[in-house]
Structure 1
């Protein structure tokens, strides 16, 4: 029997509930499609910070590295001093690529019914300053009224993310990669990024390549999103644009943060509070789409298709409360219904 090791990060608020739900769904789908997931529940986030003094305990980091994939449903950074939980995760595990598929789904509002693109951003450097230094946060003040933030862009990190984007395009039938930049202003940093992208494009001639100023792309995502296929950019530009893109499909946007040793799947969500489960009103669909993405990339296409079909039906006939939605999903999968895309 095929066996996969999956780390389930308990997180905060609804996180432990969704981690256990993911455990149950993996067991159900594994039984149905002939594979087994060896799972481990691991602390991560604000609750871990309270209990262990760090949002990413060493045992959690070790468990993620030893797993084939990790799943984090909900993480709260409020009250965590120092690096954010996700920022620390990325830095400690060298997760350099954030990959976010953006696809319209019936049952939820989207800007266009045919919207289908992917945002890939580099997540170890750029203007997110906590990742740029061996020690220190990358921000400082020379006096009480003057603040500085350090942006670091290297050719090596830029080439790594560019090659990753072209590899992703080739493996997933994508036709074009668009590198987003502001090289007219950031001549050295964006210039270095573009040099790496052009070299990667030359090494992947089967995929079309173009460049666009990030300001224009922010407009273009609204005005003509059909022009885009894979968007490739640096950390802060990608942080903003990937959230804009997610909003175009009602935030039904899974993502994976990956590096040479680990993959962590986590949803794009901007809920005002991860404790919304107390009101039984948290939307579990973005997290469950991450589970679908995880199954696909573990090489379980039948299980992924079954989950995708059940989620599609749930989007068309949603429950009023979180528990109702999760219960309906389990019934659909237990009943053997299947509807792939």
Structure 2
């Protein structure tokens, strides 16, 4: 058998090295569990904007600070005193959040029926925090009326009734505007389906009141239906908000991922969290994928 020259062998070895390795069957069979949270860094201390806020906010954020300190977590906090009675969120706070990309915020009080507008809403609009995600689930050892509760409520966070668009037409007559856009509806629907896909969820339920608000909630449903066609592996359903609340308190295990407009999401997420025993994780921020 003829011997190959050294240059020829080198060429063969080079070609073999350039070929990608075959996929590993064990890796292909693994289920995915991916969230929108960023991956751990290299250990370099990372800045986090801290707004203790009002009420129990300082107590909760203070506990987080102590936990981070005990863990020797590679983070440091840039603290800002912001309170609900302020006229607006200071610009340096906004710049800090944009720079750090992470903010730990306690609740900010909102005046009832008058006074300044909600600072929480100002933050949502300024930073375009369009997605609020609440994960409600049972904790082992905490007995509740219902078991196997594992619900994710994804709420559009920038428009709808909670956008704060109100004005007095004449004394004694106030108009409160509910604005629903196709852009924001498609954006939150895509977020919900992408979250379900990346986290091995099987079903997305759109919550609405399109039987009464046929144009506004009708547009929201239309957007959800269009996005649903791009995810054939995920079951899609719709439910009217009042029936949704009844079903949540009677048979919550039927729900998986729920996508809602602004107002309904507030009601549904609080209901779901209460059913699960008060357990809820509320990032309430903007996520890109």
Whole-angstrom distance in 2 between the partners of 1:111 and 1:73: 29
Per-residue CA deviations over 1:237-268 (Å, capped at 9, x if unaligned) read 1111111112213332120122258xxxxxxx
Query: TM-score with structure 2 length normalisation?
Result: 0.78
SS at match of 1:23: helix
Identify which of 67, 70, 73 aligns with 2:100. Answer: 67
Find the counterpart in structure 1 of residue 43 from structure 2.
2
Identify which of 14, 38, 49 aligns with 2:76. Answer: 38
In structure 1, the gaps of 5 or more residues are: 131-137, 262-341
Identify which of 118, 123, 132 aligns with 2:152. Answer: 118
Query: TM-score with structure 1 length normalisation?
Result: 0.66
SS at match of 1:28: helix
Contact kept in structure 2, 1:101 and 1:117, CA below 8 Å: yes
Whole-angstrom distance in 1 between the partners of 2:216 and 2:186: 13
Find the counterpart in structure 2 of residue 259 from structure 1.
286
Matched, 1:249 2:282: no
After TM superposition, which residue ranges in structure 1, 4 or more long, deviate above 4 angstroms? none
Largest Rg, 1 or 2? 2
SS at match of 1:118: strand
Contact kept in structure 1, 2:110 and 2:117, CA below 8 Å: no
Per-residue CA deviations over 1:257-280 (Å, capped at 9, x if unaligned) read 22258xxxxxxxxxxxxxxxxxxx
Identify which of 66, 87, 91 aligns with 2:121. Answer: 87
1:160-171 alignment to 2 at 5 Å?
160-171=187-198
Whole-angstrom distance in 2 between the partners of 1:81 and 1:161: 31
Whole-angstrom distance in 1 between the partners of 2:189 and 2:234: 12
CA RMSD of aligned residues (A): 2.1
Per-residue CA deviations over 1:294-338 (Å, capped at 9, x if unaligned) read xxxxxxxxxxxxxxxxxxxxxxxxxxxxxxxxxxxxxxxxxxxxx
Higher helix share: 1
Contact kept in structure 2, 1:94 and 1:260, CA below 8 Å: no
Find the counterpart in structure 2 of residue 310 from structure 1.
none
Residue range with higher mean Cα deviation, 73-82 or 159-168: 73-82
Offset, 1:140: 2.3
Contact kept in structure 2, 1:6 and 1:38, CA below 8 Å: yes
Shift in alpha-carbon separation, 1:46–1:183, aligned structure 2, 3 A:
closer
1:52-201 alignment to 2 at 5 Å?
53-54=87-88, 56-78=89-111, 81-130=115-164, 138-201=165-228
Shift in alpha-carbon separation, 1:28–1:112, aligned structure 2, 3 A:
same
Whole-angstrom distance in 2 between the partners of 1:145 and 1:113: 48
Whole-angstrom distance in 2 between the partners of 1:239 and 1:109: 25
SS at match of 1:127: helix
Find the counterpart in structure 2 of residue 202 from structure 1.
229
SS at match of 2:233: coil
Whole-angstrom distance in 2 between the partners of 1:230 and 1:118: 5
Contact kept in structure 2, 1:43 and 1:57, CA below 8 Å: no
